[in-house]
Amino acid sequence: MVRKKISRKIILEFYQDIQRWESMVGYAANELLFLDTLLHAKAFENTAQIKTEKMLCFKLEIKTKNQEVNELKTQMELSKNNVGAFLDCEVNSGIEFSFKDYKVLKRNFGLFNTSYNQYKTEIFKHTGGIL
């Protein structure tokens, strides 16, 4: 197996990606608190049955999204620590960097970000129509 040497500059860019994703996931966690409060607002208590069922689905999905956020935060912390440790090592330490964890995290973040933005859009469309 041939191993390709990666520049520290590229690995630093990976680290910056992880920091950016970490910030975005933190923001999503705060938004989920707002969305949960919004979905439990009194304004939505006496809506039609169909809308009530949709609201119940949104409320249940918040639990899933919070779980996804927590899992991503854990993955990011591990990945950030690993990349950070690599960057802190001596240049000639012989430690090799693996793309595997970074690629998995990048994929997981992308999937979460897409599904979360769709979920948020659906909630705003639905609640905006009621208000």
Q: Is pLDDT above 80 for 23?
A: yes
Q: Do 101 and 79 touch, CB atoms closer than 8 A?
A: yes
Of residues 42 and 34, more confidently modeled: 34
Q: Is residue 48 part of a domain?
A: yes
Q: Which two tokens stand for residue 128?
A: 């905006």
User: DSSP letters along 104-115, please?
Assistant: HHHHHHHHHHHH
Q: Is pLDDT above 80 for 9?
A: yes
Q: Is residue 81 part of a domain?
A: yes
In which band, very low, low, confident or very high, does the pLDDT at 79 lie, cut at 50, 70 and 90?
confident
Q: Is residue 1 part of a domain?
A: no
Percent of the chain with pLDDT over 70: 80
Amino acid in the structure at residue 100: K
Q: Is residue 3 part of a domain?
A: no
The residue range of the domain holding 74 is 8-89+96-130
The count of domains in the chain is 1
The pLDDT score that the predictor gives to residue 1 is: 46
